[in-house]
Structure 1
Amino acid sequence: MGAGSWGTAFAKVLYDAGTEVTMWARRPEVAKALATEHRNPGYLPEVDLTGIAATDDHRAALDGADIVVLAVPSQTLRENLGAWRADIGPDATLLSLAKGIETGTLLRMSQVIAEVTGAHVGRVAVLSGPNLAREIAARQPAASVVACADAARAEAVQHACAGNYFRPYTNTDVIGCEIGGACKNVIALACGIAAGMGLGDNSIASIITRGLAEIMRLGSALGANPVTLAGLAGVGDLVATCTSPLSRNRSFGQVLGAGGGMEAAQQATHGQVAEGVKSCTSIRTLAERHGVEMPLTTAVHQVCHEGASVSDMVGWLLGRRIKPE
């Protein structure tokens, strides 16, 4: 459900793993191109999608689906689910690909899904890890984590998407996977800002490491297993998103660091959503609610939403009191 970059790439993963797939696209012209040309003209147009069905009718897409893959941006998930919930099967597994914290409610995506659909938490799964869509669509080897409170459902999703280039592991720590996936986007913005300012690898490595410390503090406060955040859904996803030029969040931050404004950064990412821009505010508020200190997240929020300069951001971070690690 969703035909953006990651939704398109994951549809290909499922199909290559031997799973029957139908893609839902919001725009009829996109659905038509997917069905007739077997290409997605707006996202990953070079990827051959032969064998994958497509429609702009959500009822047709959801009819008989054992696994409903939710591949829309985090801040639109609630609205979309409201339109779809009546047509989702009563025992379908709901798999979230979105990585974010909902604005206002401060809910994780699995919580939004359960609240809107009324589904038991054991039906809700999340997929997280180093998942740069273009690399996976090119069938470059990658690993990921499928997390669900119901281990059997996690294994069912695992089997549906496991292939010779995509290796999914299972986990029951939904909180850890979601916090890692949401927070890494914000840290990637910080890394992009540093790169845009001309700072080098020492600076980037320091941001990644201290960013991981922030993520682990928040995850622990919410009940996540720290081991999860040391794995694919934490460190793995963080490193890929913070270092790759394919990362929208890093690319967005790099424009800001080079002196461009928010509009220029949006244009540089071709109008695609940099989830961290919105999530940094929600994550900061969530951290404050739980008494967790997240200075990098706060700095990114101030640059993106309060008009702070990138040089101010660096000054704040370097000016913090010295203490044991």
Structure 2
Amino acid sequence: MDFDAMRERIRTGKGFIAALDQSGGSSPKALKLYGVEEDRYASEEEMFDLIHAMRERIVTSDAFTGDRVIGAILFEQTMDRTFDGRPAPEYLWKEKGIVPFLKVDKGLEEAGGGVQMMKDMGDLEGLLGRARDAGVFGTKMRSVIGGAGREGIARNVAQQFEVGERIRAAGLVPILEPEVTITIPDKAEAEAMLREEIERALDALPEGAEVMLKLSLPSEDGFYADLIRHPKVLRVVALSGGYARDEANALLARNPGMIASFSRGLTEGLTDGMDDAAFDAALGRALDDIAAASAA
């Protein structure tokens, strides 16, 4: 694996990270937005075939280029499949110059204490070994913060960093994603607690350790500037979190140093029924707009 070259691409590259990691729970909604209704598939296998076809169409489009996209987060099944006949991580890096990441979480526990923790990940080390062998550079895992409760946020961040250390031990770079729900009334207070807990956890990491952070777009412009500058943070990326693309881009542009890692914001407006010319044009506009907001 070209680890050092990939790290430099993520550290200094201009553009954003595409989130192409819809899982079993989010795929039906993603397909519906893409114009594929549930009557088009009769099993989970058929559903995953359709979502992979959508991802492959995006990734292999001439519009999807390394001058705007520096990384892509894949679902486990996507890592194990192909783009244009080549293993998906290999295609991204060798054909497009795009760094591959892998979603490793297995979903969320029920809400408790104002947060949703990550479920047990089973044989995580086995998955990390397969990812490393496939040429994957890093991972992503999501948990959720639903209120400004210090104890819950501290537990949430601690879990992210504990699993992150297992990922680093496997030779990969973790993207830690403690998502703050954008609709909660005490979002700003939750973000303040989150930032404090992240700073504490970063300072406790061993010298030379690096992680990435994927955070909700903050209520206060520039709120995560200290995290962006932290020597143990390779990059801070933003999730769209339910915002429409234009609103997410506008918020992102007010946070210099953050770059996008959008999923819904990336695929908004793309449909299965588009011909290739219309699809590529719509995708190109989306990529241009997100890359421009990431460069602000």
* Structure with more contact order per residue of length (Cα contacts < 8 Å, sep ≥ 6): 2
Q: Same fold (TM over 0.5)?
A: no
Using the size of structure 1 for normalisation, the TM-score is 0.27
Structure with more strand by fraction: 2
Kindly indicate which of the two structures has a greater share of residues assigned to helix: 1
Larger radius of gyration: 1
